[in-house]
């Protein structure tokens, strides 16, 4: 694996401001787009620093938070929400908007044409995986810490980044904390989805066991959409397949309940007969639109690409063909429950969603790309000396538990906390408890 060699970065911090119990400071950095070409094009990164009111920031060690995704900016907390209450007790926290997200140089249908045509856009997007994100972190770390290592907390895809960090630049880490994000070190995208579909089936069965009335409701909505695809606000075309994407909810703590409430009042009577209500369509649009995070759809399968000679090629769609329970047409022809899909991206996402439609050719070229570099250095992970702990959520819908545990065994000294108390969003839903447990593990306190 190519070593991480930090290159000079430019930085600026604006004035501080306050929320209840927290002092916040905005940071802006410029870093190379391609860290192998430090004198080439540069992009901007944004990060928000948080320090508990009354604490001296200079006396506190740093904790860098890497959000899940890919393609989501760091969560916009208010005050000391979720795990922040625990973190701010002893850390100076940095919430990084990973490249292409949030207030960092944006990636979307409006900005990508600045790169040129689809080929140039796909080449640009090849620089938005975990390896580039870790190099960004290592580039800005000396500017903030004076060269001292920092603790990094990675949620979901953020954990993928932390796993890369452990193999690429362990000298930058005082400790590594991972929640719901221990990736397979060598599984292909297709293998990731082959493992995922049975888990998604289990989440569907659990949902219908909890809410049996939703079986008929989901079938009725899907059947209606087969005959009458609905245009959502902003031009999103809701088809039966797009409707199935609501299954993404089933992987988070209250997602099954959210899905139930969406389905229960989908139809309203009209002079022309029952129709999907405006309220339902608005709520569905809020769940399905990629307008706020198009990078998630564009690079989602690329985060698994490690074989230099093999393109990805719509892996989730290929694997789905072997799981007929997820075929809406076949389901509606019989009497089985309609199964919702999960964290999977399909070609029709780029047909239904106006935020993605102009980028369809770009996505195709990215998925046809070869020359991907390996993301995880097994040899260095096997001799790891960084204190590292990972929360592994039993039957996590987004990240395969067996893959996570195999990786845990491959990283020297990694301590796992396997629990079925939480779904994939445990670090948020569990408040301070998850972070507290991970810190105790890396400090040998439990």
Residues 210 and 172 occupy one common structural domain: no
State how far the Cα of 185 lies from the Cα of 347, in Å rounded to an integer. Answer: 26
Q: Do 206 and 79 fall into the same domain?
A: no
CB atoms within 10 A of CB 373: 13
Q: Is the pLDDT of residue 9 over 80?
A: no
Domain count, the chain: 2
Catalytic residue among 289, 424, 425, 436: 424
Residue 48 has pLDDT above 70, yes or no: yes
* Whether 37 and 164 share a structural domain: yes
Q: Strands 173-179, 237-238: parallel, antiparallel or unpaired by DSSP?
A: unpaired
Q: Is 424 tagged catalytic?
A: yes
pLDDT at 151: 98
Structural domain contains residue 4: no
Look at residue 223 and tell me if it is in a domain.
Answer: yes
Domain of residue 297, residue span: 189-367
The beta-carbon contacts of 212-219 under 8 Å, at least 24 apart in sequence, are 213/264, 214/259, 214/260, 214/263, 214/264, 215/337, 215/338, 217/263, 217/264, 217/266, 218/263, 218/337, 218/338, 218/340, 219/331, 219/332, 219/337, 219/338
Q: Which of 156, 184, 245, 256 is catalytic?
A: 156
pLDDT(202) > 60: yes
> Percent of the chain, pLDDT > 70?
98
Q: Is 80 exceeded by the pLDDT of residue 396?
A: yes
What is the model's pLDDT at position 14?
73
**207 and 181, same domain (yes or no):** no
pLDDT for residue 7 is more than 70: no
One domain for residues 182 and 193: no
Which three-class secondary structure state does DSSP give residue 403?
helix
pLDDT at 123 over 70: yes
Record the pTM.
0.96
Q: 109 and 146, same structural domain?
A: yes
| 163 three-class SS | helix
Active-site residue 396, yes or no?
A: yes
Q: Which of 131, 136, 353, 396 is catalytic?
A: 396
Q: Is the pLDDT of residue 110 over 50?
A: yes
Q: Answer whether residue 2 shows pLDDT above 90.
A: no
- pLDDT tens digits, one per residue of 295-316: 999 999 999 999 999 999 999 9
Report pLDDT digits (tens) over 160-198.
999 999 999 999 999 999 999 999 999 999 999 999 999
Q: What is the CATH number of the domain that holds 33?
A: 3.40.50.1820
In terms of domains, do 75 and 50 share one? yes
As a whole number, mean pLDDT of residues 333-352 equals 96
Whether residue 302 is found in the same domain as residue 436: no
Name the more confident of 12 and 346: 346
Residue 271 has pLDDT above 60, yes or no: yes
Q: Check whether residue 303 and residue 402 sit in a common domain.
A: no
Last residue within a domain, chosen from 367, 400, 422 = 367
Residue 389 has pLDDT above 60, yes or no: yes
Mean pLDDT of the chain: 95
Residues 196 and 181 both lie in one domain: no
In this structure, are 129 and 246 located in the same domain? no
Q: What pLDDT is stored for residue 3 in this prediction? A: 43
Would residue 164 show up in a list of annotated catalytic residues for this protein? no
């Amino acid at each position: 694996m190519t070593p991480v060699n930090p290159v000079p970065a430019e930085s600026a911090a604006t004035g501080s401001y306050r929320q209840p119990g927290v002092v916040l400071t905005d940071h802006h950095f410029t870093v190379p787009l391609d860290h192998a070409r430090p004198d080439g094009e540069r992009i901007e990164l944004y990060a928000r620093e948080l320090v508990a009111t009354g604490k001296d920031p200079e006396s506190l060690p740093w904790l860098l938070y890497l959000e899940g995704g890919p393609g989501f900016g760091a969560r916009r907390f208010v005050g000391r929400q979720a795990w922040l209450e625990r973190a701010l007790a002893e850390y100076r926290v940095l919430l990084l908007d990973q490249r292409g997200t949030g207030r960092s140089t944006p990636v979307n249908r409006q900005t990508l044409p600045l790169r040129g045509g689809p080929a140039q856009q796909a080449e640009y997007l090849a620089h938005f995986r975990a390896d580039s994100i870790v190099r960004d972190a290592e580039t800005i770390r000396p500017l903030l810490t004076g060269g001292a290592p920092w603790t990094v907390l990675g949620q979901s895809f953020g954990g993928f980044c932390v796993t890369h960090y452990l193999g690429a630049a362990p000298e930058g880490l005082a400790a590594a904390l991972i929640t719901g994000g221990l990736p397979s070190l060598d599984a292909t995208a297709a293998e990731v989805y082959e493992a995922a579909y049975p888990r998604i089936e289990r989440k569907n069965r659990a949902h219908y066991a909890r809410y049996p009335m939703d079986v008929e409701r989901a079938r009725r909505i899907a059947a209606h959409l087969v005959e009458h695809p609905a245009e959502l606000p902003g031009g999103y075309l809701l088809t039966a397949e797009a409707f199935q994407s609501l299954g993404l909810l089933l992987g988070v703590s209250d997602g099954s309940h959210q899905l139930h409430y969406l389905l229960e009042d989908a139809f309203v009577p009209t002079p022309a007969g029952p129709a999907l209500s405006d309220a339902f369509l608005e709520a569905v649009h809020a769940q399905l639109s990629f307008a706020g995070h198009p990078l998630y759809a564009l690079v989602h399968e690329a985060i698994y690409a490690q074989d230099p000679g093999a393109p990805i090629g719509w892996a989730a769609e290929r694997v789905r063909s072997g799981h007929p329970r997820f075929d809406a047409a076949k389901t509606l022809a019989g009497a089985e429950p309609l199964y919702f899909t999960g964290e999977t991206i399909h070609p029709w996402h780029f047909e239904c969603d106006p935020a993605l439609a102009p980028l369809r050719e770009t996505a195709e070229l990215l998925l046809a790309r070869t020359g991907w570099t390996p993301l995880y250095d097994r040899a260095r992970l096997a001799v790891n000396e960084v204190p590292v702990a990972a929360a592994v959520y039993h039957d996590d819908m987004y990240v395969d538990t067996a893959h996570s545990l195999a990786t845990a065994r491959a990283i020297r000294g990694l301590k796992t906390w396997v629990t079925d108390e939480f779904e994939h969003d445990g670090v948020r839903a569990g408040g301070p408890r998850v972070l507290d447990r991970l810190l105790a593990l890396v400090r040998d306190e439990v």
